[in-house]
Amino acid sequence: MVNMTDFKLKFISLSLVVSISLGFCFNKVGTTAAPFLKIEYGARPVGMGGAFVALADDPSGIYYNPAGIASIKSPQFMGGYTVWFADLTYNYATFVLPTQRVNFALWGSFLYSDDIPVTTVENPEGTGQEFSYIDGLLGVTVSALLSDRLSIGLSGKYIQQKLYNESASTFALDIGSILRTPLKGARLGMCLANYGGRMQLFGNDLIVQTDPWPEYTGNPEVEARLTTESFPLPLAFKLGIALDVLGAGEAFTSSELHSLTLAVDGIHPNDGEEKLQFGIEYGIYNTLFLRGGYKINYDTQKFTAGAGMKFSIGHRTFAFDYAYVDMDVLEATHRVSLVIGF
């Protein structure tokens, strides 16, 4: 005779194991809102494969780790332009204002398209109307040095997506820290990015006329609103390490003419598999720079490359950077950014 109690316990146990296994195997790609938040910021870090969590030492670093701007000593402004694929454009800007104890920053980014013709079933060639698509972010950052080696930072962000008459918005936080170890200039960085609310579309196109009692005839149509699903933001935990192999100060090998920095970032997102990013930056006379990077576990992005130049005019400093990213089956992307120090 089969013991039904033992059979039920075994069946329940097997069901739990299968359920847990399926849960771990579930692909979460495409389950978050505002994917433009994953587009990396600044030509310098992009040229290094996005491995910038432990560096983040210029205005572009605010995207990777808000703790990085604590080391900036003078006001700086950065503006950037990106030629994205599918005829999209991605622009961004940051202004950093240092004070005696705390550094502040105001920054924003926008992904947008040119005007798109409105088409319908009745007018597949267009109705004569046009609409635009835009994603936007506006952020405020506070960062400070807790000691000569440890800095922390916090960013508050307002995020909005808008397509035709529909839009969605929410708020999010980035929290980060950077530890400058005494081990030959090695730095450790951590950042939790996009911790915030969910996004849900609202708009006039979701208002429809409907018959509340279709089983009866002669009813007047009433106004109703379609409900859309809400989705979380692309939350990510980032951990990075950077090492100055050549350079002044605490570099592994001291050099006044040359600098060489290696960086590695690991990313744990809530909507995909873990990713690794490797970057390298070589500089000569702290004026000319060459950069390269490689990404692991990305569908399209693999190799990155970039170059930059720093110079001074009077009391102002300038840094111009360019980055190229191979997007495989998609179009390659190009970024340029300019940093002005006052």
pLDDT of res. 185: 79
Phi-psi sector, 203: left (phi>0), alpha (psi -120 to 50), beta: left
pLDDT of res. 27: 60
Q: In terms of residues, how long is the chain?
A: 342
Q: List the domain boundaries for the chain.
A: 42-199+234-341
Contact 251, 243 (CB under 8 A): no
Sequence-distant contacts of 71-77: CB under 8 A, at least 24 apart: 71/145, 71/151, 72/96, 72/98, 72/103, 73/98, 74/98, 74/341, 74/342, 75/341, 75/342, 76/339, 76/340, 76/341, 76/342, 77/339, 77/340, 77/342
Mean pLDDT of 144-173: 94
Distance CA 97, CA 164 (A): 36
For the record, the structure tokens of 214 come out as 């279709």
Contact 272, 236 (CB under 8 A): no
Provide the total of helices (H) and of strands (E) in the chain, helices listed first: 2, 22
pLDDT tens digits for range 238-288 = 999 999 999 888 888 888 899 999 999 999 999 889 999 999 999 999 999
Distance CA 320, CA 58 (A): 12
For the record, the structure tokens of 110 come out as 């926008």
For the record, the structure tokens of 154 come out as 């916090």
Q: Which of 120-134, 229-243, 269-283 has the least mean pLDDT?
A: 120-134
Q: Write out the DSSP string of 184-229.
A: TT-EEEEEEEEEE-EE--EEGGGEEEE-S-TTSSSPPPEEEEPPPP
| Of 55, 39, 50, 38, nearest in space to 306 by CA | 50
Strands 222-225 and 231-232 come out as unpaired
User: What's the mean per-residue pLDDT of the chain?
Assistant: 88
Contact 96, 105 (CB under 8 A): yes
Say yes or no to pLDDT of 17 above 50: no
Task: Name the 3-class secondary structure at 15.
Answer: helix
User: 241 burial class (0-12, 13-18, 19+ CB within 10 angstroms)?
Assistant: middle
Residue 263 parent element (H or E): strand 258-269
Say yes or no to pLDDT of 16 above 50: no
Backbone phi, then psi, for 5, in 5-degree steps?
-65, -45
42-199+234-341 — its CATH code?
2.40.160.60
Eight-class DSSP state of 56: -
Bridge-partner residues for 295, per DSSP? Answer: 277
Distance CA 113, CA 219 (A): 43
* Between 58 and 31, the higher pLDDT residue: 58
Say yes or no to pLDDT of 165 above 90: no
